Amino acid sequence: MQLDFERSQSLFNKAQTLIPGGVNSPVRAFKSVGGQPVFINSGQGSRMFDVDGNSYVDYVCSWGPLIFGHAHPRIVAAITSAAEKGMTFGASTEAEVVLAEMIVQAVPSVDMVRLVSSGTEAVMSAIRLARGYTRRDKIIKFEGGYHGHSDSLLSKAGSGVATLGMPDSAGVPPNLTVDTITIPYNNIEAVRAAVALHSKSIACIILEPVAGNMGVVPPKAGFLEGLREICSENEIVLIFDEVITGFRVAYGGAQERFGVLPDLTTMGKIIGGGLPMGAYGGRREIMEFVAPSGPVYQAGTLSGNPLAVAAGIETLRMLKEPGVYDELEEKGAALADGLAEAARSAGATAHGNRVSSMSTLFFTAEEVFNYSSAKTSDTAQYAYFFHRMLERGFYFAPSQFEAAFVSTTHSAADIEATLSAARDVFETMKKS
């Protein structure tokens, strides 16, 4: 199958002379699957259209935000009418109060929330807050967890960093990561050991309650509960990074789905409805440490931007309507189970993980429960799968270590077409 990628290729050539690597975020460059990235012209529902006129069923969904697909008319209308009233004021608006109240009502552990402009900013601010509140410096994170690109969190991070093979970023002074302790995901004994060793100097434990940035890895039974117990016993702030899972795996996020409450929660992606937004929130006692009510400084010119807030409010309203999460669960299962089954019957070696509408098919025989088991995947096979699917009009993440996201706009026919293409690809994989 030969698609024409001529215009994408010429744009990428030009972009590489103007933008580092030709992209504004590394994973977009297709480095871990090889080949050249496609440039997108537009999106509608479950579909994206590139600049050469090729069409794709999109399972990246802008890395999570597009839970209602591309250009949903209700979200477009909300943004348009907000824009007509002015883009930004640098002063408070009523809509910010509306969204804050919706988040507080939705997310079980959140009493107060601060809006920011990205997930990175939310996490960076939550870490500062945890350190300011506890007057301790050390943080614990998990191997393969990605929490944005801020300095102290770029030690053994996952996502783009993992597949580019850079355990740490250049330009991060070692003394900014010395206080970051990294532990294998799902290993509660290793957490206990680290906490015993550093008892009174650990400010927080941060994790993705369902990992999404080493591919999808669910928490083992008891893992989240164990962390909650360790944090409570040792006065450590437990932070759930729900930038992906918030409003994705349940309306109240992973904390609602698994019934374990963190002290602080970071959010992003879905709450901006496709516009740049992040948020961090949690227990009132801790949140009151944030300036201007408290001593932990954090600010933002475009924080609570009216367009992003309008998109967020409309998205949350739509998510609250009955049946949305059942539909996402069903469609997520149809895709993930279907892919795993297609791989199995073609004799391909693969192992699927899924929580709700986020899933990953790992090209490995092993159960994937942490970063090192994820890394047993055959990334060359993934790259083959990725390109053969792309040629057939199905856009999966250009890396093995990412999630496939399903939106409400992915139809049963979209998913059946995807599975039929995948069966084809697994058959050719066997022959190649």
Binding residue count for ligand PLP, defined by CB under 6 A: 15
CB of 382 to ligand PLP, least distance (A): 19
Of 58, 96, 179, 208, the residue at the interface with ligand PLP (CB under 6 A) is: 208
What gap in Å lies between CA 250 and CA 106, rounded to an integer? 10
Catalytic residue check, 52: no
The residue (of 179 and 208) whose beta carbon lies closer to ligand PLP is: 208
Of 69, 148, 218, 273, the residue at the interface with ligand PLP (CB under 6 A) is: 148
CB of 263 to ligand PLP, least distance (A): 17
Among the residue ranges 11-19, 117-125, 250-258, 317-325, the one whose residues contact ligand PLP (CB under 6 A): 117-125
Catalytic residue check, 146: yes
Which tokens is 240 given? 């759930």
- Residue 55: phi, psi to the nearest 5? -120, 145
Of 213, 255, 381, 409, the residue at the interface with ligand PLP (CB under 6 A) is: 213
Please, are residues 198 and 234 in contact by the beta-carbon 8 Å criterion? Answer: no
Count the Cβ atoms, other than its own, within 10 Å of residue 6: 10
CB of 405 to ligand PLP, least distance (A): 11
Among the residue ranges 45-53, 198-206, 236-244, 378-386, the one whose residues contact ligand PLP (CB under 6 A): 236-244
CB of 404 to ligand PLP, least distance (A): 14
Among the residue ranges 26-34, 208-216, 305-313, 351-359, the one whose residues contact ligand PLP (CB under 6 A): 208-216
Q: Residues of 327-357 as b/e, b for ≥16 C-beta within 10 angstroms? A: ebbbbbbbbbebbbebbeebebebbbbbbbb
Strands of 314-403 (E only): list them: 351-355, 358-362, 394-395
| CA-only gyration radius of the chain, Å | 21
Nearest to 61 by CA among 73, 78, 47, 75: 47
Active-site position among 50, 179, 241, 414: 241
- From residue 207, alpha-carbon distances to 3, 249, 267, 360, 399 in Å are 40, 15, 12, 19, 21
Residue 120 engages ligand PLP in binding (rule: CB under 6 A): yes
Which tokens is 383 given? 């790259």
Task: Show contacts with ligand PLP in window 250-289 (CB under 6 A).
Answer: 268, 278
Of 43, 132, 212, 281, the residue at the interface with ligand PLP (CB under 6 A) is: 212
Nearest to 273 by CA among 96, 47, 67, 97: 67
Task: Show contacts with ligand PLP in window 57-86 (CB under 6 A).
Answer: none
Give the DSSP H/E element, type plus range, for residue 324.
helix 324-345
What gap in Å lies between CA 9 and CA 37, rounded to an integer? 8
CB of 245 to ligand PLP, least distance (A): 8
Minimal CB distance to ligand PLP: which residue? Answer: 119
Please, are residues 237 and 203 in contact by the beta-carbon 8 Å criterion? Answer: yes
Active-site position among 269, 382, 395, 414: 269
The residue (of 118 and 186) whose beta carbon lies closer to ligand PLP is: 118
Which tokens is 289 given? 């440490």
What gap in Å lies between CA 393 and CA 421, rounded to an integer? 9
Strands of 283-397 (E only): list them: 351-355, 358-362, 394-395
Of 136, 147, 283, 354, the residue at the interface with ligand PLP (CB under 6 A) is: 147
Catalytic residue check, 269: yes
DSSP symbols for 151-165:
GGG-BS--HHHHHTT
Residue 125 engages ligand PLP in binding (rule: CB under 6 A): no
CB of 147 to ligand PLP, least distance (A): 5
Give the DSSP H/E element, type plus range, for residue 206.
strand 202-207
Of 60, 129, 227, 244, the residue at the interface with ligand PLP (CB under 6 A) is: 244
Of 8, 109, 118, 315, the residue at the interface with ligand PLP (CB under 6 A) is: 118
The residue (of 279 and 340) whose beta carbon lies closer to ligand PLP is: 279
Count the Cβ atoms, other than its own, within 10 Å of residue 7: 16
The residue (of 143 and 208) whose beta carbon lies closer to ligand PLP is: 208
Among the residue ranges 145-153, 317-325, 348-356, 363-371, the one whose residues contact ligand PLP (CB under 6 A): 145-153
What gap in Å lies between CA 45 and CA 243, rounded to an integer? 22
Residue 241 engages ligand PLP in binding (rule: CB under 6 A): yes
Active-site position among 56, 59, 146, 325: 146
Of 119, 160, 306, 352, the residue at the interface with ligand PLP (CB under 6 A) is: 119
Query: Which residues of the shown chain bind ligand PLP in the complex (CB under 6 A)?
Result: 118-120, 123, 146-148, 208, 212-213, 241, 243-244, 268, 278
Catalytic site positions: 146, 241, 269
